[in-house]
Amino acid sequence: MDSEAGAAAPAASSDFIREMVAEDLRAGKHGGRVHTRFPPEPNGYLHIGHAKAICLNFGVAADFSGLCNLRFDDTNPAREDIEYVESIEADVRWLGFDWERRMFYASDYFELIYGYAEQLIRDGKAYVDSLTADEIREYRGTLTEPGRNSPYRERAVEESLDLLRRMRNGEFPDGAHVLRAKIDMASPNMNMRDPTLYRIRHAAHHRTGDAWRIYPTYDYAHPISDALEGITHSICTLEFEDHRPLYDWCVDNLRVAASEFKSKPQQIEFARLNLSFTIMSKRKLLALVEQKLVTGWDDPRMPTIAGLRRRGYTPEAIRDFCARIGVAKKENVIDMALLEHTVREDLNKRAPRAMAVLRPVTVVIENYPEDRVEEVEAVNNPEDASAGTRKLPFSRTLFIEREDFMETPPKKFFRLAPGTEVRLRYAYILKCERVIKDASGTITELRCTYDPDSLNGPTATRRVKGTIHWVSAAHAADAELRLYDRLFQSADPGEGGQDPLTDLNPDSLDRVTGAKLELALAAAAPGSRFQFERQGYFCVDPDSRQGKPVFNRTVTLKDSWAKITARGAQTTP
């Protein structure tokens, strides 16, 4: 879709992780190698928060001439699906990253992971527990009280081994037994109180089918997967900080026996991305989709990569955003305005301009000949001379933006009003003579005159303050425009334990059906992006049909007039 060739080299930004990696290299750690991985669970679509992790993992690898794997953390068959692995692949690729041939699944290692479990039992470092889930919880103690050993903790090695094999054979129902690491039930770190390594799940796995009845937990499978792939720096989010001792426990207790381990990976944690006015919880995003509160994972209002793509965001803008937000250990909430700024900046340079009238009102130019049509020349992109120019038909009957006319204009309203003049972009100066309304008082038509000597060009010496966009009525295409606003009403939708789904913005989608576009736009391919002058950036939606184009508004242009009027509304009682 978007070529990566010539992508601007990111400003050599550094952060505490890159500093750690550089230090490791200096110290000769990991034999001078840098190898990271992006490890999503295929249980949902990727979102902008994942983009931060993707840019970090692939970026660190690239910065140090290392490699980054794509690995699916597919240890929980109940929630995972092939649809998600496919969408994840597509999204990472679209963002501009390449894992070459290194796409793996934790499930690739199930046999090895299982073997290590038997090894742990033989070493007296794991045991099969036959307590119920409730009992295990009771025995675990609380944050302030130590837990107690399970009565099965000292079970004979042979008995645990036999039980684990029979678990694997499917001889027991879900929940009957679990394999636990034998660490320390009195540890102040809850994760070290004999964590579960394997659980019974009679569920079909999207890759291994029904080959397995037991599945390893994340805490157990993840460090092993990292070590097997030769990962040197295992970057994850803050909530796993407490898991690091367990991560190290798994690696350290298996290293000697596991000849397949290619590295002693180290886990490094950073703060996940939070964005104002949206949510990053995959569970909640799934709920939005399942409850049909949005049209799907790629609804342009969603913070998913698929949603942003459909909305019109570019991979370059998202990567730039990720570079600008930085990487640290402090919890953060990034202002949505920054994301919007990065698309505007990117699209301003690249998007061809076009004339589109969102909510048209008819203008009849009384002193312009009935059947005359002339062509005026318009610049395709003032930021890019190589984009050239195009011809626009001009005639007696036009559409202009209803918003660009006011019967009783306030101060500093530089647009059209009775008796005032405005420039029609790339064409003539227009003067409003009369307003025509229907019985209900709605304006149906503006009767105007134009100044024949004011055509855009070297001969045009007169200047007026305002310039508005327009489209010739006889040469316009109809279109549906989808104008999006934030999906949630509050800056922090989950705040105070509230369900974010009760905080949806009822006006997050405004479908405008009678928009009038310059003709060429009707034929634009889905995914094409334009700047509709004075309105914003728009992108052709895949819902477009022959003769029925649909555009998504990616983001509005910055609008200082709107700012002035909003301010006025606030200060006027």
Partner RNA sequence: UGGGAGGUCGUUCAACGGUAGGACACCACGCUCUGGACGUGGUUAUCGGGGUUCGAAUCCCUGCCUCCCAGCCA
Of the two residues 209 and 457, which places its CB atom closer to RNA in the complex? 457
Q: Does 367 bind RNA (CB under 7 A)?
A: no
DSSP-assigned letter for residue 205: B
> CB-wise, 136 or 364, nearer to RNA?
136
104, 413, 470, 551: which one contacts RNA (CB under 7 A)? 413
Q: What is the DSSP string of 383-401?
A: T-GGG-EEEEEEESEEEEE
Residue 419 sits in the site that holds RNA (CB under 7 A): no
Binding residue for RNA (CB under 7 A) from 369, 382, 388, 568?
382
Residue 166, amino acid: R
Residues 476-515 vs RNA: string with x where CB under 7 A?
A: ----------------------------------------
Least separation, in Å, of the C-beta of 264 and RNA? 20
Distance, CA of 528 to chain centre:
19
Residue placing its CB nearer to RNA in the complex, 258 or 354: 354
CB 467 → RNA: shortest distance, Å?
4
3-state secondary structure (DSSP) of residue 187? coil
Kind of pairing, strands 536-540 and 550-556?
Answer: antiparallel
Candidate list 44, 70, 73, 224; residue touching RNA; CB under 7 A:
73
Q: By CB under 7 A, what part of segment 517-556 binds RNA?
A: 531, 533-534
CA–CA gap between residue 441 and residue 390 (Å, rounded): 38
Distance, in Å, from the CA atom of 355 to the CA atom of 357, rounded to the nearest integer, reads: 7
Helix (H, G, I), strand (E, B) or coil at 378: strand
Q: Which of 455, 477, 481, 521 contacts RNA by CB under 7 A?
A: 455
Q: How far apart are the first and last CA of the chain?
A: 51
For residue 369, the minimal CB distance to RNA (Å) is: 20
Structure tokens at 124: 């007296």
- Binding window for RNA (CB under 7 A); candidates: 90-98, 260-268, 362-370, 462-470: 462-470
CB 318 within 8 A of CB 51: yes
| Stretch binding RNA (CB under 7 A), from 15-23, 54-62, 441-449, 472-480 | 15-23
- Contact positions with RNA (CB under 7 A) in 106-135: 131-133
DSSP state of 352: P
- Measured from the CB of residue 368, what is the shortest distance to RNA in angstroms? 16
* Residue 438 CB, nearest approach to RNA (Å): 26
Closest to RNA by CB, 441 vs 457, is: 457
CA distances (Å), 33 to each of 64, 66, 103, in order?
8, 7, 19
Catalytic residue among 18, 33, 37, 41: 41
272 is catalytic: yes
Of 522, 520, 538, nearest to 530 by C-alpha is 538
The pair of three-digit structure tokens given for residue 438, joined into one six-digit string: 């229907």
Given the complex with RNA, which of 185 and 522 has the nearer CB atom?
A: 185
CB of 327 to RNA, least distance (A): 6
The vertex-377 CA angle with 375 and 380, nearest 5°, equals 135
Residue 567 binding RNA, by CB under 7 A: yes
Name which of residues 131 to 150 contact RNA (CB under 7 A).
131-133, 136-137, 140-144
Site for RNA in 159-178 (CB under 7 A): 174-175, 177-178
Query: Tokens 């609008």, residue?
Result: 559
Quote the least distance from Cβ 404 to RNA, whole Å: 8
Q: Which helix (H) or strand (E) holds 435?
A: strand 429-437
Q: Give least dist CB 217 to RNA, A.
A: 4
| Alpha-carbon distances of 271 from 53, 238, 319, 323, 554, rounded to whole Å | 10, 5, 17, 14, 28
Four-point Cα dihedral 471, 473, 475, 477, nearest 10: 80
Which listed residue (264, 272, 324, 390) is catalytic? 272
Pick one of 4, 16, 111, 124: the residue that binds RNA (CB under 7 A). 16
CB of 79 vs RNA, minimal distance in Å: 6
**Alpha carbons 1 and 393: distance in angstroms, whole number:** 32
Q: Which stretch binds RNA (CB under 7 A): 247-255, 292-300, 464-472, 482-490?
A: 464-472
Pairing of strands 397-401, 360-365: antiparallel
Task: Name the residue nearer to RNA (CB basis): 284 or 329.
Answer: 329
Site for RNA in 243-282 (CB under 7 A): 243, 271
Whichever of 22 and 473 has its CB closer to RNA, that residue is 22
State how beta strands 389-395 and 373-379 pair: antiparallel
Instruction: Closer to RNA by CB, 144 or 440: give it.
Output: 144
With the CA atoms of 344, 325, 484 and 42 taken in that order, what torsion angle do they form, in degrees rounded to the nearest 10?
Answer: 120
Q: Is 282 part of the annotated catalytic residue set?
A: yes
- Using the minimum distance from each CB to RNA, give the nearer residue, 39 or 96: 39
Q: For residue 199, which phi and psi values (nearest 5 degrees)?
A: -135, 155
Distance CA 521, CA 529 (A): 10
Q: 252 with 224: CB under 8 angstroms?
A: no
Contact region with RNA (CB under 7 A), list: 2-10, 253-261, 413-421, 518-526: 413-421
Compute the residue count for the chain: 573
Site for RNA in 20-59 (CB under 7 A): 39, 41
Instruction: Closer to RNA by CB, 62 or 460: give it.
Output: 460
Gap between the Cα atoms of 528 and 551, Å rounded: 9
Which are the catalytic amino acids?
41, 272, 282
